[in-house]
Amino acid sequence: MIEIKVECGGGYGVFIEKGLLRRADELLCAYAGAAKYCIVSDGNVAPLYLEAVKARVLALGAEVSEFVFPAGESNKTFATVGRILEILAGLHFTRSDCLIALGGGIVGDVCGFAASVYMRGIRFVQIPTTLLAAVDSSVGGKTGVNLGSLKNQVGAFWQPSLVICDPDTFSTLPEREYRNGMAEVIKYSAICAPELADKLDGDICEIIKTCVQIKSDIVSRDERDNGERMLLNYGHTFGHAVECASDERIPHGMAVAIGMMMACRVSERLGICGAEVADRTAALLSAHGLPLEADEFSAEMLYGAMQNDKKRAGSKVTLVLPRRFGECALHTVTMDELRGIMIGADR
Ligand code: NAD
Ligand code: GLY
């Protein structure tokens, strides 16, 4: 079993192994140890894995309940969090009890946010069932919900107590969702691990390990996203704009792929990198079935969607731009400069 330590919050482990769900009770006993658990999942994941996880919790002699909400970004809302909080109150959950997020990034973000506010914070465990959640969203403690069309506008930093990653769960993942996760894997390679790009068809546990180790190192140094952690947002500033403009028709991973290509073009335009970075990035994304552009949205539309970006501070926004493939840097520009750059880069 692979174990990666994350030095955030109280410090916690990310455990990765095929078939690990079958041993979830051992990890829950060692790192959560609650008397009551509530498993939060979505309508696609619950029929596949909820009973198996429930059985492992019952094997601990703990009480277990569940909350299942419909899958999809449109349910990543305050209303869903409110329902979870009401259920926890109805079950007389106390601060020593624990939530379990069983699903992809949406379940993890919603469940983690509920955990962060119930009684001012209770523990939660992440069980990611998508590649995207395994390599990114289940680690690092960003939780939250959308506010209308504004992505992840409301949330909290709230670290899990434990992450249990069983890549066998990806066997039921629609291919499109697997590709979404590959976009985040390629992101890690592009920001600091160029050698990972040559191993994308290798052992999935090793791929997840590499990504989680990078994320763990970065968030352990900058939990609150004040500096280095912003590098993990490569492709996200432009990507969130694509997600918003498409009314969530383009999912997160694909939007990040398009966002990375936009960042490459902006970087090239600013003279920070050469054309070979976009070429290398495009080749990798295409090889994994990911889109490179979203022609239907004009630069004006995307700029409009970026007005509410969380990475904006006053009249400035910090972009993550590549210097070369495998190295990115932060670059702060005014919103007016960004408008000029984007419209110039729209080709
Ligand atoms: P998701 O949670 O919507 O999961 C994708 C789809 O796959 C859903 O329909 C889900 O029901 C289904 N699914 C999940 N696991 C499955 C399985 N094993 N078998 C069959 N179906 C399965 O999306 P995602 O791509 O995992 O996550 C995207 C979300 O994560 C976005 O809301 C994004 O903002 C957020 N995110 C958060 C962070 C963070 O640091 N907190 C980082 C990246 C992304
Ligand atoms: N997904 C970017 C971060 O966690 O910071």
End residue of a domain, out of 172, 207, 237:
172
194: DSSP letter: G
The pLDDT tens digits of the residues spanning 221-245 come to 999 999 999 999 999 989 989 988 8
Q: Which ligand is nearest to the CA of 68?
A: 1
The pLDDT tens digits of the residues spanning 171-203 come to 999 999 999 999 999 999 999 999 999 999 999
Same domain for 20 and 168, yes or no, is yes
End residue of a domain, out of 130, 146, 172:
172
Q: Which amino acid is at 329?
A: A
Q: Which ligand is nearest to the CA of 233?
A: 2
Ligand 2 atom nearest to CA at 225: 5
Could you tell me if the CB of 136 is within 6 A of ligand 2? yes
Instruction: Determine the distance separating the centroid of ligand 2 and the alpha carbon of 136, expressed in angstroms.
Output: 7
Specify the pLDDT at position 345: 54
Could you tell me the CA-to-CA distances from 133 to 159, 169, 174, 208, 251 in Å, in that order? 14, 12, 14, 10, 13
Specify the pLDDT at position 229: 97
Same domain for 150 and 253, yes or no, is no
Q: Which ligand is nearest to the CA of 47?
A: 1
As for how many domains the chain has, the answer is 2
Same domain for 155 and 256, yes or no, is no
Q: What is the CATH number of the domain that holds 95?
A: 3.40.50.1970
Q: Is residue 123 part of a domain?
A: yes
The boundaries of the domain holding residue 316 are 222-346
- Residue 39 tokens read as 């498993």
Specify the pLDDT at position 281: 98
Same domain for 34 and 135, yes or no, is yes
Same domain for 164 and 243, yes or no, is no
Same domain for 290 and 145, yes or no, is no
pLDDT band at residue 339 using 50, 70 and 90 as cut-offs:
confident
Instruction: Determine the distance separating the centroid of ligand 1 and the alpha carbon of 334, expressed in angstroms.
Output: 32
Ligand 2 atom nearest to CA at 232: 2
Element of type H or E holding 214: helix 204-221
Query: Does position 124 have pLDDT exceeding 60, yes or no?
Result: yes
Ligand 2 atom nearest to CA at 218: 5
Phi, psi of 318 (to 5 degrees): -95, 120
Percentage, residues of the chain above pLDDT 70: 98
Asked if residues 203 and 214 have their Cβ atoms less than 8 Å apart, the reply is no
Cα–Cα distance for residue pair 228/128, rounded to 1 Å: 24
Choose one of 18, 81, 106, 157 to mutate for the ligand 1 pocket test, by most ligand atoms within 8 angstroms of C-beta: 106
Same domain for 14 and 163, yes or no, is yes
Q: Is residue 100 part of a domain?
A: yes
Same domain for 123 and 226, yes or no, is no
Over residues 160-168, the mean pLDDT reads 98
Element of type H or E holding 323: strand 316-324
Ligand 2 atom nearest to CA at 219: 5
Instruction: Determine the distance separating the centroid of ligand 1 and the alpha carbon of 263, expressed in angstroms.
Output: 23
- Residues in the ligand 1 pocket, defined by CB under 6 Å: 42, 44-45, 48, 71, 73, 76, 103-107, 109, 129-130, 132-133, 136-137, 140, 142, 152, 169, 172-173, 177, 180, 252-253
